Amino acid sequence: MLQLSFIRENKELTIKGLHKKRVKNPEQIIDDLLALDNKRRETQTERDGVLARSNSISKEIGGLMKAGKKEEAEAMKAETSLLKAKEKELTELLNDYEAKLTQMLYQIPNLPHETVPEGAGAEDNEVVFLSQNAQNLPVLEGNPLPHWDLIKKYDIIDFDLGVKISGAGFPVYKGKGARLQRALVNFFLDEAIKAGYTEIQPPIVVNEDSGYGTGQLPDKEGQMYFINADGLYLIPTAEVPITNLYRDVIVKDEDLPIKNVGFTPCFRREAGSWGAHVRGLNRLHQFDKVEIVQITKPEDSYKTHQAMCDYVAGILDKLELPYRILRLCGGDISFNAALCHDFEVYSAAQQRWLEVSSVSNFETFQANRLKLRYKDENGKTQLLHTLNGSALALPRILAALLENNQTNEGIKLPKIIHAYTGFDIIN
């Protein structure tokens, strides 16, 4: 959530940033917000005046009573009663204004970093890096199969069984498919721990406060599974519970930066998704993901963002997958992010790029909602910066591994995970 004081002091900059994010009519949104804020401030000033007058009268009443001026004291008591009624009225109005302001602020996205390119959608994203093995895209010999045919051929994932017990978008992993899935999770976690991340195993359901804390609510409410009886949401990513560990926390300077990693299933309704681009493992309602989260001082966050990108790139290098990194444009970047780099691996069978990770810097946007702070060297309380990244999401990684490594003998897995799987080929 943007800070109201920042918007007030940087109105034109805010409007410019919202234009870059393709927000409709940002001038009106900000004008309405600031008009309501002016009313709130005027009401606050009026209430403070009433309180000051009430306190002053209370002191005068005491003096009058000591001086034996009972009638004058009683008259002032009557005025005090009127002032208390006025104070109550103004307090209720002030609370109403503050609640409305909070709801308005919840609807305003984060401002994009200056390096975010202009653009309306995915076609305007910038390719900022191409891995060595993606310089010349791999071409498979013969008639390569997409992963949805490979999994049937080797009987390692069953979508029909998933439909039977749950519905579309909930696959059942079997045999070597299940073992490969588990191996990748363990590999990703081990890599993160070696890189200094602390493993967290959080709940996979969160309350409404947690959803608002990291910005999934109200922006992505329709994409989240809701447990009505308990008022809980199934998590769309481990970012939500892990970052919310620090809600309403003032972090000690010596504990920064905070580096956490967590493996969880993730749940997304993906309403309105259809077509060949979401076939098989390309888009699911439930999938596994290893997430890295960092909390840093503001001056360190962009260096940290680059380090997180380098880390994700290192994992993809070890998996021998061709990949590229995109800097998302203003029209494609998420509601919460100030800067986002997407990682896409190339599927030689589908002959298309598949997104497998997003590494984002939210600056103070989440921290402001979470009240996540630290005390600077002058003892002043400041908001921290939060960052997160997929390291990695399993379905499309698995799809690319199956498709890119298929041979006449079977699917030959990259060496790095042989020790995790206990086998080197699926046949």
Residues 130 and 40 occupy one common structural domain: no
Residue 275 pLDDT more than 60?
A: no
| Pair 105, 364: CB distance under 8 Å | no
Residues 331 and 263 occupy one common structural domain: yes
Kindly report the backbone phi and psi dihedral angles of residue 23, in degrees, each rounded to the nearest multiple of 5, phi listed first. -75, 135
| Pair 293, 239: CB distance under 8 Å | yes
Mean pLDDT of 345-374: 97
Q: What pLDDT is recorded for position 273?
A: 52
Choose one of 81, 106, 131: the last residue of a domain: 106
- Band (pLDDT 50/70/90 cuts) for residue 142 is confident
- Helix segments in 280-393, DSSP class H: 301-318, 365-370
CA-nearest of 180, 147, 125 to 351 is 147
Global confidence as pTM: 0.92
| pLDDT tens, position by position, 204-232 | 999 999 999 999 999 888 899 999 999 99
Residues 176 and 72 occupy one common structural domain: no
Residues 310 and 175 occupy one common structural domain: yes
- Band (pLDDT 50/70/90 cuts) for residue 173 is very high
| Pair 355, 342: CB distance under 8 Å | yes
Residue 83 pLDDT more than 90?
A: no
Query: Does 116 reside within a domain?
Result: no
Structural domains in the chain (count) = 2
The pairing of beta strand 205-207 with beta strand 232-234: antiparallel
Stated length of the chain: 427
Residues 67 and 140 occupy one common structural domain: no
Mean pLDDT, the chain, whole residue set? 94
Residue 321 gets which letter from DSSP? Answer: -
Higher-pLDDT residue of 273 and 101 is 101
Query: Does 111 reside within a domain?
Result: no
Q: What pLDDT is recorded for position 75?
A: 74
Q: What pLDDT is recorded for position 100?
A: 97
Measured between its terminal Cα atoms, the distance across the chain in Å is: 51
Q: Which helix (H) or strand (E) holds 44?
A: helix 26-66
Residues 102 and 245 occupy one common structural domain: no
| Residues in CB range of 162: below 8 A, 6 or more apart | 168, 169, 170, 171, 172
Residue 64 pLDDT more than 90?
A: no
Q: What pLDDT is recorded for position 293?
A: 98
CATH number at residue 11: 1.10.287.40
Structure tokens at 309: 């990108």
Residue list for the binding site: 237, 268-270, 291, 355-358, 388
Lowest-pLDDT range of 82-86, 203-207, 398-402:
82-86
- Band (pLDDT 50/70/90 cuts) for residue 127 is very high
Residue list for the binding site for ATP: 268-270, 355-358
Residues 12 and 153 occupy one common structural domain: no
Chain Cα centroid distance, residue 175? 33
**Distance (Å, whole) CA 310 – CA 106:** 32
Choose one of 82, 106, 130: the last residue of a domain: 106
Higher-pLDDT residue of 302 and 85 is 302
Q: In what order do the strands lie in the sheet with 258-267?
A: 126-130, 323-327, 339-347, 352-361, 385-393, 286-296, 258-267, 198-200
- Band (pLDDT 50/70/90 cuts) for residue 141 is confident
Query: Does 354 reside within a domain?
Result: yes
Name residue, tokens 């910005």: 215
Helix 394-404 to helix 175-194 angle, to the nearest 10 degrees? 120
Query: Does 112 reside within a domain?
Result: no
Residue 290 pLDDT more than 70?
A: yes
Mean pLDDT of 59-73: 71
Choose one of 106, 138, 154: the last residue of a domain: 106
| Pair 287, 395: CB distance under 8 Å | yes
Query: Does 371 reside within a domain?
Result: yes
* High-pLDDT (> 90) share of the chain, %: 86
Residue 264 pLDDT more than 80?
A: yes
Query: Does 117 reside within a domain?
Result: no
Residue type, 219: D
CATH number at residue 263: 3.30.930.10
Name residue, tokens 């309501």: 36
Q: What pLDDT is recorded for position 276?
A: 56
* High-pLDDT (> 70) share of the chain, %: 96
Structural domain harbouring 100: 4-106
Structure tokens at 71: 């009638």
Residue list for the binding site for L-serine: 237, 268, 291, 388
